[in-house]
C-alpha cells in the first residue's frame, strides 16, 4: 500500500464498456471530500481490444489506481504483475493499484457484497444453500467471498456451461461448488440465497427462472443496480423472496474497499449510500 503526499492530486479512473453511466466518479469524489484527499477520478470507456493500450496511457500519464468493470475484469487480471488472494482465486480484478512500475490487482467486489448483506441488511449468510447465476467477471468476483462468509453449497449456472465449469474449477472446492446448466434450474430445489451476476438484463434478457427456486427465507440479490436490476428483483418479489436486494450497497462498499487500498483509510459509507438510494428509490422498488 502506497502512502501519498496529501497535497498532491492523484489520478484514478474506472475502465469499462459502456461506462458513462458509472457512479464510481461520484462515489470516490464523496469519499475524497470526507477524508480531505485531493484526487481526480474519471470514467474511461475501453473495449477488450482497446483496454491494454488505454491502461498503458493512463499509467504513463500518472495514473495511481483504477477500478475495472464489465467486460474487462478477467482481462485486467491477465495484465497485472501481481494479484491479491481474492483476485487470484477468482481470476478477476476490479481494483488496480500502481506498484513497482506495474499493476497489482485486487478484487473488492466480494467483500463489498458480503459487507452490504451482513452489516447493512442484517443477513446471516452461514449455511445458506446458494445459487449463483452467471460465471463472468462479476460472478467470479463475489463467489470466493461468499464461500469465505460460510454459505452452504454453491450452485453455479451460466448460459455457457463451460464457463460455469471453469469457475467451479477455479474456486477449487468440489465438495461445495457445483456447476449446473440453465436447463437444470427446475430440478435444483429451493435456495436460501440467489445471486444474479450476469449482464443479461442490460439487453432485457433475464434468463427464465422457475419460482420454485425461492425458499421460505430466501434472499435474492442482484449485483446490478438501477433499471438493470428491475427484472430480477421483480421476479424475486413475485416468487416470494423474503429479501430482494439490488447491488447499490455492494457498489458503495466495494468502492470503499478500493479507496482503502489506494489511500490507507476506509471512508464511512452510510451517507453516500443513502444519497444514492434516494436517487434510485423509484427505480429499485418498481414492480
Catalytic residues: 73
254 annotated to bind ligand: yes
In the chain the first and final C-alpha atoms are separated, in Å, by 44
Helix (H) or strand (E) holding 232: helix 230-238
Are residues 73 and 137 in contact, defined by beta-carbon separation less than 8 angstroms? yes
223 annotated to bind ligand: yes
5 annotated to bind ligand: no
216 annotated to bind ligand: no
62 annotated to bind ligand: no
Q: What is d(CA 109, CA 12) in angstroms, rounded to the nearest whole number? A: 18
98 annotated to bind ligand: no
36 annotated to bind ligand: no
Q: Is the bond preceding 71 in cis, omega lying within 30 degrees of 0?
A: yes
User: For residue 83, how many C-alpha atoms fall within 13 Å in the half-sphere facing its CB?
Assistant: 19
24 annotated to bind ligand: yes
- Nearest Cα residue to 45 out of 22, 26, 28, 27: 22
| Cell of residue 72, nine digits | 474487462
Give the largest CA-CA distance in the chain.
59
161 annotated to bind ligand: yes
109 annotated to bind ligand: yes
CA distance to 12, 124, 153, 211, 265, per residue, from 146 (Å): 28, 11, 10, 23, 24
116 annotated to bind ligand: no
| Cell of residue 235, nine digits | 421476479
163 annotated to bind ligand: yes
Bridge partners (DSSP) of residue 13 are 42, 66
Residue 122, burial from CB neighbour count under 10 angstroms (0-12, 13-18, 19+): exposed
280 annotated to bind ligand: no
140 annotated to bind ligand: no
Annotated binding site for NADP(+): 85, 134-138, 158-163, 223, 247
Annotated binding site for shikimate: 22-24, 69, 94, 109, 225, 254
Annotated binding site: 22-24, 69, 85, 94, 109, 134-138, 158-163, 223, 225, 247, 254
Amino acid at each position: 500500500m502506497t502512502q501519498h503526499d496529501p497535497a498532491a492530486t492523484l489520478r484514478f479512473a474506472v475502465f469499462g464498456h459502456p461506462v458513462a453511466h458509472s457512479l464510481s466518479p461520484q462515489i470516490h469524489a464523496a469519499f475524497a471530500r470526507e477524508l480531505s484527499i485531493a484526487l481526480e477520478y474519471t470514467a474511461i470507456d475501453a473495449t477488450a481490444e482497446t483496454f491494454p493500450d488505454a491502461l498503458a496511457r493512463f499509467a504513463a500519464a500518472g495514473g495511481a489506481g483504477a477500478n475495472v468493470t464489465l467486460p474487462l475484469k478477467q482481462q485486467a487480471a491477465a495484465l497485472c504483475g501481481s494479484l491479491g488472494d481474492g483476485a487470484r482465486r477468482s481470476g478477476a480484478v476490479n481494483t488496480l493499484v500502481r506498484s513497482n512500475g506495474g499493476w497489482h490487482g485486487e478484487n473488492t467486489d466480494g467483500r463489498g457484497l458480503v459487507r452490504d448483506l451482513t452489516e447493512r441488511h442484517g443477513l446471516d449468510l452461514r449455511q445458506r444453500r446458494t445459487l449463483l447465476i452467471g460465471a463472468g467477471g462479476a460472478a467470479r468476483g463475489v463467489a470466493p467471498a461468499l464461500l469465505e462468509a460460510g454459505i452452504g453449497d454453491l450452485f453455479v449456472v451460466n448460459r455457457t456451461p463451460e464457463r460455469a465449469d471453469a469457475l467451479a474449477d477455479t474456486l477449487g472446492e468440489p465438495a461445495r461448488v457445483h456447476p449446473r446448466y440453465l436447463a437444470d434450474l427446475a430440478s435444483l430445489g429451493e435456495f436460501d440465497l440467489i445471486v444474479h451476476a450476469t449482464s443479461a438484463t442490460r439487453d432485457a434478457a433475464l434468463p427464465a427462472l422457475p419460482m420454485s427456486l425461492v425458499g421460505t427465507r430466501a434472499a435474492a440479490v442482484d449485483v446490478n443496480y438501477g433499471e438493470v436490476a428491475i427484472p430480477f428483483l421483480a421476479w424475486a418479489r413475485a416468487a416470494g423472496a423474503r429479501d430482494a436486494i439490488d447491488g447499490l450497497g455492494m457498489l458503495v462498499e466495494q468502492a470503499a474497499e478500493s479507496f482503502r487500498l489506494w489511500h490507507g483509510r476506509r471512508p464511512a459509507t452510510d451517507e453516500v449510500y443513502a444519497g444514492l438510494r434516494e436517487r434510485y428509490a423509484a427505480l429499485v422498488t418498481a414492480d
